[in-house]
Structure 1
Amino acid sequence: MHLTAPAGTGRTGTRPRTRDADGMAVASFILGLLGLLVLNLFLGPIAIVLAAAALWRGTARRGRACLGLALGVADLVVLVASMEVAGTVSWSL
């Protein structure tokens, strides 16, 4: 159901759209997976933020958002572990 805001507010709805939240959940999952291989310093935090936003907005894809959140955290853990093993502030395959 689409709710309308009072006249003059400039907004067309008062509830966040679940379709946007579903897209965020899927994007967080994909970025979390990609972050395990490349650019985990950037993709990990983005995956975490997108997953948190999707969960906050009430996504229908709750499992995918939770996986995106876990993968985002895993990206950062992989980065820290790789830096410790290599003894540098960066890593490469």
Structure 2
Amino acid sequence: MQLTAPAGNATTAPTRTRRDADGMAVASFILGLLGLLVLNVFLGPIAIALAAVSLWRGTRRRGRAFLGLTLGVADLVVLAVVMQMSNTVSWSL
């Protein structure tokens, strides 16, 4: 007697992974956008990581993942520029 998984599980795993990757792409975009205004030292790296993972998992929302990646990098660039201009470790509006 051989035990095998039901046929439904074989197709559900890639669909779930893709759906998770799509959610990560959207989350990276939102966090990258929010990071331009607040907590960019935290939200920028999170947006970069989420975008990279979603692209690695093969998201269908590649545009949002690339926007999240770009905005995450922009968060860190804005932080570095403003820190240099104000000669402090943080910045505020």
Could you state the TM-score of these two structures normalised by the residue count of structure 1?
Answer: 0.85
Note the C-alpha offset of 1:2. Answer: 4.8
Structure having the larger proportion of residues in helix: 2
Q: Counterpart of 1:7? A: none
**Unaligned residue ranges in structure 2 (runs of 5+):** 1-7
Paired position in structure 1 for 2:5: none
Structure 2 letter corresponding to 1:84:
Q
* CA deviations over 1:36-67 (Å, ceiling 9, x no partner): 00000000000000000000000000000000
Q: Any residues of structure 2 matched to 1:6-85 within 5 Å, and which? A: 13=13, 15=14, 17-85=17-85
**In the alignment, residue 71 of structure 1 is paired with which amino acid?**
L
Give the number of the structure whose alpha-carbon radius of gyration is greater: 2
Distance 1:53 1:2 in 2: 23
Q: CA RMSD in A?
A: 1.7
- TM normalised by structure 2 equals 0.85
Shift of 1:17: 1.1
Letter in 1 for 2:56: W
Correspondence for 1:3:
10
Provide runs of 4+ in structure 1 moved above 6 Å: none
SS, match of residue 10 in structure 2: coil
Q: Aligned residues: percent identity?
A: 74
